[in-house]
Structure 1
Amino acid sequence: MKNTLKMSFVIILTLLINGCGKVEKKEQESIKKETAIVQSEFGKWKTRNDSLGVELNTEKFNNWNDLVERAGKIACNDSIPKITLSTNNEIRTIYFHNPCWENDSYKIVKSKNVIEIHNDTIFKHKKGTFPLDSLESVLKMDINNNGINPMLSENSKKLVISISYDKKNEFNKLLENLDKLTEQYYGITNNTDIKIWLTDKEFLIPPPPTFKK
């Protein structure tokens, strides 16, 4: 009888240990899933090596123009300016398609293929201005146009999103807006091929018309 009780105790103890082990293992697996870090890259250049990416630390710039100037110098050195957004479960790297301002390459972009985001306002050529919370609808308007409306983007591959701030603006919403922009672009296109420029708004002001005498 005593041997039977001992065996029963050992069996129960073994089951409890195994049961606790399984629960602990499941909890660990659950924690791993919750803490898994997702890495995503937006605006990757197909023609350039991503290892040429140079990080822009926004905290190191006193004003917006300094940041834009630095992005331009990186581009002129055949490298790629980028910003990395980090949250608890995601690392999102955004590569910018800034042209080298030392040449006139930015002038070949047609105004209808550009969405300008200046401070908290969206500017769309010949369509007027929109509040920033209209970003998703403005993106859809251009992305889904496919050349139908001549005032909108010819196709999503040619679409450029220009971001700028006033010279005295602290651009403290830049990272938040980049997060929102890339997330909404991906939600519409299921793609990460977004083209973003960091610009001084003056660069995108069209030149005055010329009149023949």
Structure 2
Amino acid sequence: MEVDDFEEKYAKDTEEIDEIFKDLKRSEREGAQNILKYFDRIHDKLFTFNNILIAGYFALSQFFESFSVYGIIIPLINLALLIIIEYRMMEKSRFDAQVTKKPKDEIDQNGSKISRTTRYSLYSIISTSIVVGVFIFNLFNLDSKAVQVVNNNTTIQYSEYGYAQNGKDNLKVSLLISSFNKYGEIVDRIRQITCNDSIPKIVIKNRTIVRNIFPAENCEPIKFDPRGKHYVTFVDGKAYHNNGSKELSVDSLERMLLNDFSYYSTPNLTNEPNSYLVIIESKRNEKIIGIEKFISELTGAFDNLKTNLNLNIAFWEVVPHIPPPPEKPIELEKDE
């Protein structure tokens, strides 16, 4: 009786062990399938994201002059790595389809290949992260001299002038000359923005180009008295150079930039200017007629020079001439 009970219990325990073993084998198969499933899902997402990055790199090269089109090579190299991994996974599946016909040494070699493919997969995640990092770095370190395409397929070029163009975008305050009536108003507004630790930006735009001019301005007065050749004075909407009586000709602006507006802040052996400086001046109550057109012509002439130097434009007021006080009459001593 005891022997029968033992055999029955042994058979029951053996059946339970077999069931547990079958469950473990089933979990093992499902685990292997899940590895491949999640492997494919991860690489599908990496493929998709990398393709987005390729488009992003290409867009940056088209919209920003400072980003070379060759930057697209970075995500393309990463794409090549992802394709190699996919090819190795295809070869693994092809091997698994005939695994029972393969000799032991080839099965061992296949195991080593799978291990290397897993490492490559890790490398692809790291490389994609690097590609994203490079993309973000370039995105935040681009200049704003962009060429943008609008909905009507018209290409708009963006050009910037002045040292302050490299300042933070969130500090820049846009100004339209046409929104002011008197010259003194725009001078006051430029100084107000500067003294509030912001950057004034005068915007002049037409259908094909937008010019951003960052005026040279200091909140605190500084000792700075450039030569008269840098001055352009506006009287009744007309521009005069260096207090001359003859109206300035826009056709001569390129020559004037080279000969008159070139500025040498420090002496150098090459006789090359450090920048170009134009000081626009007028009386406070003068209207702003002609100023915007002059700046547009001036910046266009500057662009034609194809130089890497800065064009700095300042807005100053004409200081009224204050005559000296009358001399006191000399009293002659009377002879007693």
- Scaled by the length of structure 1, the TM-score of the pair is 0.62
Shift in Å at residue 86 of structure 1?
A: 1.6
Look up the match of 1:115: 231
Aligned partners of 1:80 and 1:95 also within 8 Å? yes
Aligned partners of 2:162 and 2:311 also within 8 Å? yes
Please state whether the residue corresponding to 2:274 is helix, strand or coil. Answer: helix
Call closer, same or farther: CA 1:79–1:32 in 2, change over 3 Å. closer
Is 2:296 the counterpart of 1:179? yes
Match 2:258 to one of 140, 156, 159: 140
Identity rate of aligned residues, in percent? Answer: 24
After superposition, the CA RMSD in angstroms is 3.5
Alpha-carbon distance between aligned partners in 1 of 2:167 and 2:263, rounded to the nearest angstrom: 29
Shift in Å at residue 73 of structure 1?
A: 1.0
Match 1:190 to one of 292, 296, 307: 307
Match 1:93 to one of 198, 212, 227: 212
Match 2:161 to one of 39, 42, 53: 42
Call closer, same or farther: CA 1:124–1:113 in 2, change over 3 Å. closer
In terms of fraction of residues, the more strand-rich structure is 1
Aligned partners of 2:276 and 2:309 also within 8 Å? no
Look up the match of 1:20: none
Off by >4 Å, runs of 4+ in structure 1: 31-34, 143-147
In terms of fraction of residues, the more helix-rich structure is 2
Gaps of 5+ in 2: 1-149, 266-270, 325-336
**Larger RCO: 1 or 2 (CA < 8 Å, sep 6+):** 1
Q: How many matched pairs?
A: 166
Aligned partners of 2:261 and 2:278 also within 8 Å? no
Shift in Å at residue 71 of structure 1?
A: 0.5
Look up the match of 1:74: 193
Look up the match of 2:277: 160
Alpha-carbon distance between aligned partners in 1 of 2:215 and 2:307, rounded to the nearest angstrom: 19
Aligned partners of 2:279 and 2:315 also within 8 Å? yes
Call closer, same or farther: CA 1:172–1:118 in 2, change over 3 Å. closer
Please state whether the residue corresponding to 2:193 is helix, strand or coil. Answer: helix
> What one-letter code is carried by the residue in structure 2 that aligns with 1:84?
V
Q: What do the CA deviations read for 1:84-108 (whole angstroms, capped 9, x no partner)?
A: 12211112211111222xx321x32
Shift in Å at residue 144 of structure 1?
A: 6.3
Call closer, same or farther: CA 1:52–1:129 in 2, change over 3 Å. farther
Alpha-carbon distance between aligned partners in 2 of 1:145 and 1:157, rounded to the nearest angstrom: 6
> What one-letter code is carried by the residue in structure 1 that aligns with 2:287?
E
Shift in Å at residue 113 of structure 1?
A: 7.2
Match 2:172 to one of 20, 33, 53: 53
Look up the match of 1:151: none
Alpha-carbon distance between aligned partners in 1 of 2:283 and 2:317, rounded to the nearest angstrom: 8
- Scaled by the length of structure 2, the TM-score of the pair is 0.42
Shift in Å at residue 50 of structure 1?
A: 4.1
Please state whether the residue corresponding to 1:132 is helix, strand or coil. Answer: coil
Gaps of 5+ in 1: 1-30, 148-153, 209-213
> What one-letter code is carried by the residue in structure 1 that aligns with 2:247?
P
Structure possessing the higher radius of gyration over alpha carbons = 2
Shift in Å at residue 41 of structure 1?
A: 1.3
Please state whether the residue corresponding to 2:197 is helix, strand or coil. Answer: coil
> What one-letter code is carried by the residue in structure 1 that aligns with 2:290?
K
Call closer, same or farther: CA 1:117–1:50 in 2, change over 3 Å. farther
Alpha-carbon distance between aligned partners in 2 of 1:129 and 1:186, rounded to the nearest angstrom: 28
Call closer, same or farther: CA 1:143–1:63 in 2, change over 3 Å. closer
